A and B are shown apart, each in its own frame.
Chain A
Amino acid sequence: MAELLSSGIVQTVLMGAALLGAISGMLGAFAVLRRQSLLGDALAHAALPGVCLGFLIAGARDLGAIMAGAFFTGALAALVMMLITRRTALKTDAALGIVLSVFFAMGIVLLTHVQGQGRTASAGLETFLFGQAAAILRADLWIMGGVGLAALGVVLALWKEFKLVSFDPDFARANGLPVLPLEAALTVLVALAIVVGLQLVGVVLMVALLIAPAAAARQWTRSLGAMVALSALIGAASGAGGALVSAAQRGLATGPVVVLIATGVVLISLAIAPERGLLWQALAARRARARISDRRVLATLQGLAAAHDDTHYPAERGMLKTALGAMPRSTRLEGLEARGLIRSVTHPPETTPHWELTSAGHREADRLARKTRAEGQDP
C-alpha cells in the first residue's frame, strides 16, 4: 500500500478521483433533492459531441478545448431541454430522453468521424466514453481544484437561496427571488462537475457520481447542510477508494470501480441507516406490532376483570385466545410478566395456565387507553 501511494500517477489519480467525488457529491445533493438527477445524465451524454468539437477545433487532444466544448454542448442540451418542456406538450422525462439520445448520437457520429480521419492523436478520444483515470495530469488537478473551490464558494454564498429554490420554487418566486437564474446557476454548476469528471469517469457513468453519494447521504442526515457535506464526503471516499482498488489490481478501470463503490455505499445506506433504512423500519414495525399486541392483552384482561367484577380475575388461555383472535407469543406474555403487569396463576381445579392483571397492569392499561383516545389512532 505504501508502495502504491508513493507512485506519482497513483497519487494524482487518487487526488483527482477524490476531488471529483467531492464536487459531484456536493452538487448532486441539490440535483437529487430537486428531482433533477436525470438532468445530470442528459448533460453528461450531451457533453460527448462537445468533446469531439473541442478536439476538432483545437486540432489536438487539448484538455482545455475539450472541456470548453463539453461544457458548451452540455449547456446547449440543458437549454434545449428547457425550451422543449416549456414550449411543447412534452413532459420532462420525454424531453430528457430525446435530448440525451440525440446529443449522444451526434457525439458518437463525430467520434467515429474523427477516428476515421486516421490521425494518431485522435486515438484517445473514445476514453471519454468510460473515462481513463491514468490520463490525468498534475495540471488537471489544479483545474479540478479550481472548479471545486468555485462551486463551494457559490454554494456557500447562495446557500439559503438554493435551499429555498430546491424546497419550494413557487414560494421563492412569489417572494420575488430570481428563481430562474438561481436554478440556472445550479444547473451550470452540475454541468461544470460533469465536465471535470469526463476524463476520469466518462460521459456514460458520470451521472452515478452525482446521484449515488447524495442518495446515500440522504439516508443518514436530517438537515440540508449535513446532507451536502456527507454527500461530498461519500463522493470523495468513493473516488479515493476506487482509485486505490484499481491501482492495486491491474486491469480494473478506475471510473467504473468508483461508481461501484459509491453504489455499494447507497445499498448499505438504504438497508441500515437509522430511521430511513429498511432494517430500521422493519424493526420499528415489529416494535409497533408488539406494542399493539401488549395493549390488546392488557385491555382484554381488564375487560374480563370488569365483566367479572374481580380486579384480579384469572383469564384462561383459551379465553384470551378467543378474545384476541389469536394467542400472543408466549415471549410477549413473559415480557408483560417481567414488567410486573400480569401474573401467571393457577386456578384449581383447572390445570391450564391462567393470567391475571396486577395493579400496575391496571394502571398501564388505563394509561394506554387514555393515550389511544387522545391520539385517536394506534400509536
Chain B
Amino acid sequence: MSDNHPDTSLHEPDQALHVEDLTVAYGSVTALWDIDIDIPPSVMCAIVGPNGSGKSTLLKTALGLVKPVAGHVRFLGRPVRAMRGQIGYVPQRQSVDWDFPITAREVVEMGLYRSLGWLRRPDARARARAMDALAELGMQDYAGRQISQLSGGQQQRVFIARALVQDAPILILDEPMAGVDASTEAIIIALLKRLRDAGRTIIVVHHDLTTVQSYFDWLVMMNVRVIAQGPVREVYTPENLRATYGRQLAMIATPAGDRDG
C-alpha cells in the first residue's frame, strides 16, 4: 500500500472510512478505478452495484486483504493495520467450509482470539461473551451445534455474532442477506440498526435494491468507479441507478421501492 502518512498523524479522522484514489487490478482486469469514498461515523451504509462492480474487492482492499495498485484507505483517520481488532468483518458466507468440525460457539470465540493473545485458550469469560453475542442474534440454543447442521440463515447469524463479539466501532459485512430466510434478515437488520443507534458505523455490501431505502441511511453506488455517494434520500435517484446498473435496472427495482413487474 502506498502509505505516505505515518500511523501517528491522523488523516481524515472525521470519517469512519476514507478511501482516496484507490485503484485495484487483478492481472489486466481493473476491479476498482480511482475510487474516492467518505463514510461518516454512526451511519448504516449500503454499498450497491451490479455483479463484478468491485464491491467485495473494495471491502477486501479496505481491510488490507487485497493490495491496491494505488491509493490509500483510512478508518477514523488511521491505516487499517493500526485498527486491527477495531473493525468487525463478516466475510461472504460461502468463503469458508461449513463442514469444518467446529461448533457455533467456537466460531464466535474466534472473534476474541486477537484480544486473547498468543498461547491463551478461550476461557470461561470468553465463552460467556460468545454466548452473549449468539443470544443477540437469537442463536443461544444452537451454541453447541455443529456449524454444518445449521441452516444458511443460522450460519450467517453465527458469522455476524463472531464480528459482534469483537465489540468493534466499525462493522463491515459482505452480502449478509444473501441466501438467508426472512426472519434472519429481520433479526440482522434490527441488530445492525441497534448498533448504529449506539454509535457504531455499519458498512454493508448489499444486493437487494428493494430494501435499500428502508434499511440504510447512507449509500455508495458503484460500478468499478464510484457513481454516487451520500445520504440515501439524496443519492437513490433514477439517474444514479441507471448510471450504476445500466440496462439491468428495469429488471431489478425502481427508486420508489415498488417492484417493476
A residues engaging B (CB < 8 A)? 33, 35, 89, 157, 159-161, 163-164, 166-168, 170-171, 173-177, 218, 221-224, 226-227
The complex places the Cα of A105 from the Cα of B103 at a distance, in Å, of: 44
Is there contact, CB below 8 Å, between B65 and A174?
yes
Contact between chains at A175 and B101 (CB < 8 Å): no
- Please pick, from A168, A218, A226, the residue contacting B110 in the complex, using a CB distance under 8 A: A168
Total interface residues in chain B, CB < 8 Å: 30
B256 close to chain A: CB less than 8 A: no
Q: Which of B111-119, B128-136, B204-212, B247-255 contacts A (4 or more CB under 8 A)?
A: B111-119
Contact assessment for B116 and A160 in the assembled complex, using a CB-CB cutoff below 8 Å: yes
Q: Which residues of B contact A159 (CB under 8 A)?
A: 121
By a CB distance below 8 angstroms, the chain B residues around A171 are 89, 91, 110, 162
Q: How far is the CA of A157 from the CA of B162 in the complex (A)?
A: 23
**B110 with A167: CB separation less than 8 A:** yes
Contact A177 B114 (CB under 8 A): yes
A163 to B60, CA, bound (A): 22
Q: Residue of B at shortest CB range from A224?
A: B101
User: Which residue of A89, A168, A175 contacts B96 across the interface (Cβ within 8 Å)?
Assistant: A168
Q: When A173-B64, A176-B84 are in contact, do A167 and B122 touch as well, CB less than 8 Å?
A: no
State the total of A-B contacts with C-beta under 8 angstroms.
74
16 contacts between A and B (CB under 8 A): A33-B97, A33-B101, A35-B97, A160-B110, A160-B113, A160-B121, A163-B106, A166-B100, A168-B95, A168-B110, A174-B87, A174-B89, A175-B113, A176-B81, A176-B84, A224-B102
B63 close to A (CB within 8 Å): yes
- Contact A89–B27 (Cβ < 8 Å): yes
- Flag if B84 contacts A175 (CB, 8 Å): yes
Kindly report which residue of chain A lies nearest to residue B98, judged by CB atoms: A167
Does chain A have a CB within 8 A of B240?
no
Partner of A157, one of B102, B103, B119: B119
CB-based contact B100/A33 at 8 Å = yes
Residues of A within 8 A of B106 (CB): 163, 223
Q: Which of A157, A168, A175 has the most CB of B within 10 A?
A: A175
Q: In the assembly, what is the distance between CA of A131 and CA of B62, in Å? A: 50
Question: Which chain B positions have C-beta within 8 A of A223?
Answer: 101-103, 106
A171 to B112, CA, bound (A): 12
Contact status B91-A218, CB under 8 Å: no
Q: Answer yes or no: B146 CB below 8 A from chain A CBs.
A: yes
Q: How far is the CA of A227 from the CA of B100 in the complex (A)?
A: 10
